[in-house]
Amino acid sequence: MKHTIEVSGIKIYAFHGCLPEEAEIGGHYRVDVMLNTDFTGAAKLDDLSKTVDYVEIHKIVAEEMKIKSKLIEHVGQRIITRLKKEIQKIDFIRIKVTKLCPPINGDVDSVAIIIEG
């Protein structure tokens, strides 16, 4: 059986970007995490230790988003690497890092990167 956990819409204010203003002013970001795991034991026993703790996912995302980067590609790679390293129960993971209202020449709601692995 395939089990999926999603932590969607993690809202973070962070300081990523290539422009000097972005590193000083910051901006709004949204991070979505989806992972496949086996939570059969948790479903049967009602035991948090038998599944992936959503609080741990949020903690890792928040900590990595605090570290300034020029590119959200870099931030996304750090997040997925750390999640895979610290949470052993992950069979597959997909993360999406969205930068809201990016400072580009045009009317754009957001830009995003997706990493799967």
The residues with which 6 forms a beta bridge, in sequence order, are 34
Provide the residue range defining the domain that includes 57. Answer: 3-116
116: left (phi over 0), alpha (psi -120 to 50) or beta: beta
CA–CA distances in Å: residue 31 to residues 38, 99, 101: 23, 9, 15
Which CATH number does the domain housing residue 103 bear? 3.30.1130.10
**105 compared with 113, residue with greater pLDDT:** 113
The residues with which 72 forms a beta bridge, in sequence order, are none
State how far the Cα of 82 lies from the Cα of 79, in Å rounded to an integer. 5
pTM beyond 0.75: the answer is: yes
- Residue 99, Cα to own-chain centre: how many angstroms? 12
On the question of pLDDT at 1 being above 90, the answer is no
Please give the tally of structural domains in the chain.
Answer: 1
Residue in 70, 99, 60, 54 with CA at minimum distance from that of residue 114: 99
On the question of pLDDT at 4 being above 90, the answer is yes
State how far the Cα of 33 lies from the Cα of 77, in Å rounded to an integer. 13
The residues with which 114 forms a beta bridge, in sequence order, are 96
Tens digit of each residue's pLDDT (9 = 90 or more) over 19-71: 998 989 999 999 999 999 999 999 999 999 999 999 999 999 999 999 999 99
On the question of pLDDT at 105 being above 90, the answer is no
